Structure 1
Amino acid sequence: MPLSSLRVFESVGRSGSFVQAALELGISSSAVSHSIRKLEESIDIQLFERTTREVNLTRKGRVLMEHVQRGLDEMQRGFALARTEEPPPLRLHTAPSFGVQWLMPRLPRFVQAHPAIDLRFSASTDYAQFENDDFDLDVVYGEPRSSVHEKVPLAVEHLTPLCSPEIAETLRSPQDLYKHRLIQCDVQMLQWKGWFEANHLMPTHHYALRFDRSTMAIAAAVNGMGVVLESTLLAETELKTGRLVAPLRGLTHDIQYVGHYLVYPKRRTRDAAAHVFIKWLLEELSVTAIP
C-alpha cells in the first residue's frame, strides 16, 4: 500500500475534510479525493461516508484509522530516534499517592542502578496519553478503562486501620474505633463502611476528616489526627519507621484488593528503558516487606 495514500487517508480522517487535508499536505482537493477513491477501490472497503458538507469515517474506516495513525506515529518516532545520538527519555506517569508514598522512596535506587536512563516523572489522576506520544508507562489507581493497551496488576493491597503509636495504645478492640476520629480518603475504592461491614460491625456515619488523596490522609494519621483506613502498601514507609502502626491486625480482617495497575502500549515493549523499569518495578513489589 503506497505510504502517500495512507497519509492522505489519515489526514482526511483526522480533519474530516478533503479541503483541510489538501491544505495540510500541499496538494489539490481533487488529488485528495482521487487518492481516497483509489485506496477504497484497492482494498474494497468504503472508508468514508460523504455528504455535501462533510466526510465521516465509516465503522471500518475508524478501525483502520486507529492502526494507520499508530503506524505513522511509530515511523515518526523512529526517524526522530535515528536523528538523535542520545537515547530517548523514559516518560513515566503515575497516580499521585502511589508516586509519592511508594515510588519516590525507592526511586533513588533505580536512578543509582541505571544512571544512563533519562527518567521523566509526572503524576496526576488523569490517564496517560500514549497516542500523543506523551508517556511510555502509566501506573493507574483502580481497574483501567478498556483499551488496546497492556495492563498488569501490580500487587494485592491490604486495607487496615492505621494510626500513631499514641492512639494505638487506646485501641484494644475494634469497638474502640467508635471513640476516635476516623479519617477517610474519598477517592479510595474501598472505604470505612466496607471495612466495618466486612468485620460485622455497625458503620459510623460521621467522619471528621476527609481527604481526596491518600497522601494527605496518611499524613493526618501520622500527625495524630485520628485513625485512617489505608493500604499498607502506600503506608509502608510510615509503618517501617514506626510513625504508623496497625493495632487491630490479628483482631480484624483486612480488605484485600488490587489497587494499582501498570498500563503501557504494546509497541512500547521494544523500548529498552521501559523494559528495565518494568522489571525493576515488579521486583521491588515482590520484595515488599509489609503485606
Structure 2
Amino acid sequence: MKSVRKLPLPFLRVFEAAGRTASFATAADELDLSPSAVSHSIRKLEETLNLRLFQRSTREVKLTREGAILLEHVQRGMDEMRRGLALVATDGPTPLRLHTAPSFATQWLLPRLSGFVRENPNIDLRFSASTDYARFENDDFDLDIVYGEPKPSAHEKIPLALEKLTPLCTPDLAAQIRSPEDLYAHTLIQCDVQMFQWRGWFEANDLSPPSHYGLHFDRSSMAIAAAVDGLGVVLESTLLADRELKNGKLACPLLGRTREVPYVGHYLVYPKRAHYHQAFDTFKTWLLKELRIDHPGLDDETES
C-alpha cells in the first residue's frame, strides 16, 4: 500500500458519499459534482491506496470488504470532526447530553438534580431515559447510566454504587412483619427486569421461595410506587428507594434480621476521548460525589 500521509481529504468525502449511498450518481447529486468526477475521485483513491474499494457493474456499485472497513472508519472520523467543530464553533455553552436508565432517573437522579442546577446554572442539561444503551457512535449522547454491567466495549465504565436489595413496604404493613416467614402471608411485588428476584432473596435466607407473586412490573419505579400505595411488599434497592425511605413512606421491616443482597446495579459509561467539555467533568464529579456520600463503601472510580 502506498503512503497515505498526503491523502487528499476531498477523495474521502466523495468515497463516503458513494459508499453510504451505494451509487456514484446519488453521491454526485449530493456533492454537486458530475458522476464522472465522482468516478475519477474514487479511482484516484483506489490508486493511492492500491486497493479496490468498489465492485462495479452496469447496474450497481458495491463496496468490497476493504471498502466497507474503510467506510466505517472514515464515517467515524467525520463524526469526530463534526463534533470537534461544534465544540469550538458554538456561540453558547455546549449542552451535556445524558442518557439514563428510567428508574435511576426518576428515583435517584431527579430528586437530587436541583442541587446540581443551583450550583451550575450555566450548564445546559438534556436528558433521555430508556432501557436501551446509548449509541455514542451516532454522537447522540455524552454519558450513559445503565442498569446492569455493560457489554464489553472500548468505552469507559465506572460502577456507581453498591446497592442492597431488601424487602420494603409501608410502615403500617411493616408492623405486621416480624420474621421472613411472615412474608408468605402478604402480596409480594416483583420487578421482572431486576437482576435479582424474590426467589434469590428467599434462597439467600434459607427459605423456600413462594410459587405465586401478586404483582409484576417491568420498572423499579412502578414497583416502588405500588409498595408506597400499600399494595404489598417489594424487594428493591435501598438506593432507588432512598427518597421513600427518608420521607417515611417506606420501611425495611426485616433490616438486620435477614441477609440483604448486595450488588452493583448501575454503571456510568462514556466514550474514551482525549478532551471533554467542562460540563462533562463537572457533572461526572458531582454524580460520583453524591453516590459516594450515600454509599461510601464502594471504591472510587474503578474503570476498565
TM-score exceeds 0.5: yes
Q: In the superposition, relative to structure 1, how do residues 286 and 45 fare at CA in structure 2: closer, same or farther (>3 Å)?
A: farther
Q: Does 1:33 align with 2:39?
A: yes
Q: Go from structure 1 to structure 2 and tell me whether the alpha carbon gap of 1:148 and 1:45 turns closer, same or farther (over 3 Å shift).
A: farther
What do the CA deviations read for 1:200-228 (whole angstroms, capped 9, x no partner)?
21111211111111111111111211100
Where does structure 2 lack aligned partners over 5 or more consecutive residues?
Answer: 1-6, 298-304
Distance in 1 between residues matched to 2:56 and 2:256, nearest whole Å = 67
Could you tell me how far apart the structure 2 residues matched to 1:157 and 1:221 are? 19
Provide the residue aligned with 2:229 in structure 1. Answer: 223
CA distance in 1, matches of 2:250, 2:171: 6
Following superposition, the deviation at residue 86 of structure 1 comes to 0.7
Partner of 2:194: 188
Which of 124, 128, 133 lines up with 1:122 in the alignment?
Answer: 128
Q: 1:253 aligns with which of 230, 255, 259?
A: 259
Matched, 1:113 2:119: yes
Q: Do structure 1's residue 212 and structure 2's residue 257 form an aligned pair?
A: no
Shift of 1:52: 4.8
Q: Distance in 2 between matches of 1:55 and 1:150?
A: 38
Q: Is the 8 A contact 2:162 2:295 kept in 1?
A: no
The percentage of aligned residue pairs carrying the same residue is: 66
Task: For 1:64-83, list aligned pairs within 5 A.
Answer: 64-83=70-89
DSSP-derived class of the 2:133 partner: coil
> Aligned AA for 1:197?
E
Matched, 1:5 2:11: yes
Structure 2 residue 290 is the aligned partner of structure 1 residue 276: no
Partner of 1:153: 159
Tell me by how many angstroms 1:60 deviates.
Answer: 4.1
Residue-pair matches, total: 291
> Aligned to 1:131, what secondary structure does the other structure show?
helix
Q: Please report the TM-score for the alignment, with normalisation by the length of structure 2.
A: 0.87
Q: Which runs of 5+ in 1 are unaligned?
A: none
Return the offset for 1:149. Answer: 2.7
Query: Once the 2 structures are TM-superposed, how far is the Cα of residue 233 of structure 1 from its aligned partner?
Result: 0.8
Letter of the structure 1 residue corresponding to residue 186 of structure 2: H
Deviations 1:240-276 (A, max 9, x none): 2222122222222222222112122223842211111
Q: Secondary structure at the match of 1:267?
A: coil
Given candidates 149, 153, 162, the residue that maps to 1:143 is 149
Which range moved further: 121-130 or 222-231? Answer: 121-130
Aligned-residue CA RMSD (Å): 2.2
Q: Which amino acid aligns with 1:149?
A: H
Q: Is the 8 A contact 1:13 1:65 kept in 2?
A: yes
Are the counterparts in 2 of residues 236 and 290 from structure 1 also a CA contact under 8 Å?
A: no
Equivalent residue for 2:96?
A: 90
Query: Which residue identity is paired with 1:212?
Result: D
Deviation (angstroms), 1:124 = 1.9
